[in-house]
């Protein structure tokens, strides 16, 4: 039975070689398109998510601003001023905070020997390292002793380090920040970062203790607050509690949502995830339409095969063959053609993906990522292939099964 099936399939494919090649090429190209579109769509999503997380994972930012509502005799427009000490006390006042840091942000001139750059200085505490992924590749980040003793130490971004110290290791060497010497205790690991909120990206920043920043520059009020909630799902609730706490402490209407601006990156991340899910679905549908063209070709060639084998079908029905057997035979042949073209398309797309992985151009992969035949890519392609193959096979198979044996034998 199986031998007869493959013998008939081979005969139908060889009988019209040009027609067979054109039909298979449509399936091959369709499968090739589906795999590459879905694989690249997934890799772009992962790459952009990685860049987004470069700024920090599950963090919320608060920016003291000005009031927009009058409060207890005070006119609107009052500046909301928060000290770093008030921020450090927040975990004891507001539940649900895992990590928190005040942040001072200013542009300052950084110099080493003849190299000088205008870069961003961030005055922060040790918790900032985990929240903002400013992990040290060499040396260390700021610690509690640096904070307590107001040490003039800093960790610098990897790009800033290479610009300042092109001839050696920056660790334990001194740089001048507006003429004041600071000892470099760490160099940040290279990371992808797609966005920021104030100043340069972290790769070009210098991070110093906020206690040192405040004492050195005489700045009393922070630029912003950064925190990570214990439960990401409660980020909005914790943020609301913090705003109400400062409304009571500083003095403004708790209903004044603009007094302290906010950026919940968790909410942005959810929107980001939804967007790339829709983007991948769109690419999958686009590839499916390409594969559908190949499916139409398979259906067409099998309709011709049914027409050519009408007498054979009539004889089988006349000697007692069931219509279900005829349907399964032609459906199986159609599906086999789809799977054959799909296998070749998979092989070609795998070759292209492996070639892209081998080339590995950072300027490209940093933005579009590295495509891979991950389980979602393989499963989605197989499901699309089987769905189109089923529809393409059922149409000619049902026509073959509905053949009138008497009319067929007269041909």
Determine the pLDDT at residue 235: 92
Tokens of 304: 């011709």
| pLDDT of 370 over the 80 cut | no
Tell me the pLDDT band of 114, cut-offs 50, 70 and 90: confident
**Which residue, among 284, 292, 345, has the nearest Cα to 32 in the 3D structure?**
345
Lowest mean pLDDT among 168-182, 198-212, 230-244, 316-330: 316-330
- Give CA separation, 133 vs 57, 67, 393, in Å: 8, 32, 53
Q: 132: which 2 tokens? A: 């903002």
pLDDT in tens, 325-335: 777 777 777 77
Band (117; pLDDT cuts 50, 70, 90): very high
CA distance 310 to 218: 95
Residue 278, pLDDT > 70, answer yes
Nearest to 211 by CA among 157, 152, 171: 152
Query: Residue 400's pLDDT is what?
Result: 75
HEC secondary structure over the chain: CHHHHHHHHHHHHHHCHHHHHHHHHHHHHHHHHHHHHHHHHHHHHHHHHHHHHCCCCCCEEEEECECCCCECCECCCCECCCCHHHHHCHHHHCCCEEEEEEEEEEEEEEEECCEEEEEEEEEECCCHHHHCCCCEEEECCCCHHHHHHCCCEEEECHHHHHHHCCCCCCCCCEEEECCEEEEEEEEECCCCCCCCCCCCCHHHEEEEEHHHHHHHHCCCCCCEEEEEECCHHHHHHHHHHHHHHHHHHHHCCCCCCCCEEEEEHHHHHHHHHHHHHHHHHHHHHHHHHHHHHHHHHHHHHHHHHHHHCHHHHHHHHHCCCCHHHHHHHHHHHHHHHHHHHHHHHHHHHHHHHHHHHHHCCHHHHHHHCCCCCCHHHHHHHHHHHHHHHHHHHHHHHHHHHCCCHHHHHHC
Q: Which residue has the higher pLDDT, 93 or 276?
A: 93
Residue 125 has pLDDT above 90, yes or no: yes
- When comparing pLDDT for 410 and 312, which is higher? 312
Cβ neighbours around 237 below 10 Å, total: 13
* 187 pLDDT tier (thresholds 50, 70, 90): very high
Q: If you average pLDDT over residues 54-63, what whole number do you get?
A: 89
Q: Which residue has the higher pLDDT, 25 or 209?
A: 209
Question: What confidence category does residue 396 fall into, taking pLDDT thresholds of 50, 70 and 90?
Answer: confident
pLDDT reading at 169 higher than 60: yes
- Whether residue 81 contacts residue 64, with contact meaning beta carbons closer than 8 Å, is answered with yes
Answer with the residue of higher pLDDT: 359 or 235. 235
If one compares 165 and 37, the residue with the highest pLDDT of the two is 165
Q: 167 pLDDT exceeds 70?
A: yes
Q: What's the pLDDT at 259?
A: 95
Q: Tell me which of 262 and 168 has the higher pLDDT.
A: 262
Alpha-carbon distance values, 90 to 18, 66, 212, 217, 400 (Å): 76, 21, 21, 24, 76
> Per residue in 201-240, pLDDT tens?
999 999 999 999 999 999 999 999 999 999 988 999 999 9
Lowest-pLDDT choice from 82-96, 217-231, 267-281: 267-281
**Tokens 């679905």 map to which residue?**
281
């Amino acid at each position: 039975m199986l031998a007869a099936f493959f013998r008939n399939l081979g005969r139908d494919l060889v009988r019209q070689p040009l027609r067979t090649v054109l039909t298979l090429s449509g399936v091959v190209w369709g499968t090739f398109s589906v795999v590459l579109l879905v694989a690249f769509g997934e890799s772009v999503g992962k790459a952009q998510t990685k860049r987004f997380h470069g700024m920090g994972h599950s963090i919320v930012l608060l920016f003291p601003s000005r009031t927009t509502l009058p409060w207890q005799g005070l006119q609107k427009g009052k500046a909301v001023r928060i000290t770093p000490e008030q921020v450090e006390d927040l975990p004891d006042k507001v539940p649900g905070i895992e990590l928190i840091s005040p942040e001072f942000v200013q542009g300052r001139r950084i110099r080493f020997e003849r190299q000088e750059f205008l870069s961003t200085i961030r005055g922060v505490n040790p918790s900032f390292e985990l929240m903002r992924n400013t992990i040290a590749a060499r040396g260390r980040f700021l610690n509690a002793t640096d904070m307590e003793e107001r040490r003039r130490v800093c960790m610098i971004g990897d790009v800033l380090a290479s610009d300042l110290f092109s001839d050696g290791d920056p660790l334990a060497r001194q740089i001048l920040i507006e003429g004041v010497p600071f000892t470099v205790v760490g160099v940040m690991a290279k990371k992808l970062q797609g966005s920021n909120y104030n100043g340069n990206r972290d790769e070009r920043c210098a991070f110093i203790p906020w206690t040192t920043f405040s004492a050195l520059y005489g700045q009393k009020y922070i630029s912003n607050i950064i925190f990570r909630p214990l439960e990401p799902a409660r980020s909005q609730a914790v943020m609301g509690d913090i705003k109400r706490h400062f409304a009571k402490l500083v003095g403004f209407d708790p209903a004044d949502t603009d007094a302290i601006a906010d950026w919940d990156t968790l909410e942005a991340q959810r929107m980001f995830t939804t967007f790339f899910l829709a983007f991948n679905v769109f690419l999958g549908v686009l590839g499916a339409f390409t594969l559908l063209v190949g499916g139409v070709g398979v259906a067409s060639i099998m309709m011709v095969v049914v027409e050519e084998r009408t007498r054979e079908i009539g004889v089988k029905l006349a000697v007692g063959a069931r219509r279900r057997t005829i349907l399964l035979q032609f459906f199986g042949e159609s599906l086999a053609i789809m799977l054959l073209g799909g296998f070749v398309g998979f092989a070609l797309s795998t070759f292209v993906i492996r070639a892209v992985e081998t080339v590995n151009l950072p300027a490209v992969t940093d933005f579009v990522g590295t495509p891979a035949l991950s389980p979602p890519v393989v499963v989605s392609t197989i499901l699309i292939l089987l769905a189109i193959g089923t529809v393409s096979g059922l149409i000619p198979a049902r026509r073959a099964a509905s053949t009138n044996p008497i009319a067929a034998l007269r041909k």
